[in-house]
Amino acid sequence: DAGVTQSPTHLIKTRGQQVTLRCSPKSGHDTVSWYQQALGQGPQFIFQYYEEEERQRGNFPDRFSGHQFPNYSSELNVNALLLGDSALYLCASSLQAIQETQYFGPGTRLLVL
Amino acid sequence: AQSVTQLGSHVSVSEGALVLLRCNYSSSVPPYLFWYVQYPNQGLQLLLKYTTGATLVKGINGFEAEFKKSETSFHLTKPSAHMSDAAEYFCAVSAQAGGTSYGKLTFGQGTILTVHP
């Protein structure tokens, strides 16, 4: 049983560019949450997707957007990249009914130059 | 609103010694509480969680934590540290099922645990 997978593992972009990160949830899970973990910090909640809709959102600007596909996989898009967007982006999957049990992927490390 | 404070960004213990990582939380609604571990260049792994019921929660790898509502604390302990326990540990809080922030984890800043031979 594959766990949560994310791609790519590493990414380098320049300021002003756009980036798309991808996440495949654990088999059977229907809910995907995204977190940003800056260096030396705890993860911060970006948003959550269920039934292809954004259900909850953290304190992140509109430059951060997402999508969930019918197969429950998800994308995180960040437009107009800033240096401060450099971070580890973590995807977590769960069942909508049991959101207290979230499984995290290994993350995508984004560096913005 | 919810927040987590982890006391001590770095904790160092000798192998075989007691591990104690401190976590205090703030929540305007009844909380669920979690401890996660993160090894270098990896994602987060759930160690244990408190939802309802017994306030002493046992997790994987010999860790346990006790929910103390009166102290708004959820400290993580392990009787005897192993070298393999060296990692970063995160305490997190969410609302209970049915709450508006259910499923949204709010994390502390993390505590790096070092284990000396």
pLDDT band at A1 (very low <50, low <70, confident <90, very high): low
- Mind listing the pLDDT tens digit for each residue in A58-92? 999 999 999 999 999 999 999 999 999 999 999 99
What's the token pair of residue B117? Answer: 């031979």
- Mind listing the pLDDT tens digit for each residue in A21-62? 999 999 999 999 999 999 999 999 999 999 999 999 999 999
Residues of chain B found within 8 Å of residue A104, distances taken between Cβ atoms: 36, 43-45
Residues of chain B found within 8 Å of residue A106, distances taken between Cβ atoms: 41-43
DSSP string, chain A: ----EEE-SEEEE-TT--EEEEEEPPTT--EEEEEEE-TTS--EEEEEEETTEEEEE-S--TTEEEEE-TTS-EEEEE-S--GGG-EEEEEEEEETTEEEEEEE---EEEEE-
The whole-angstrom separation of Cα A113 and Cα B18 is: 43
Task: Identify whether the C-beta of residue B75 lies closer than 8 Å to the C-beta of residue B61.
Answer: no
Region B2-31: mean pLDDT is 95
Per-window interface: B 47-66 vs A, CB < 8 A: 49, 51
Region B89-116: mean pLDDT is 92
Region B74-94: mean pLDDT is 97
Residue with tokens 């770095």: B10
Look at B108 and A42 and tell me if their CB atoms are within 8 Å: yes
Look at A44 and B107 and tell me if their CB atoms are within 8 Å: yes
Task: Please report, in angstroms and rounded to a whole number, the separation of the first and last CA atoms in chain A.
Answer: 37
Handedness of CA B54, B4, B62, B42 (dihedral sign): positive
Look at B44 and A104 and tell me if their CB atoms are within 8 Å: yes
Q: Is A11 exposed, middle or buried (0-12, 13-18, 19+ CB in 10 A)?
A: middle
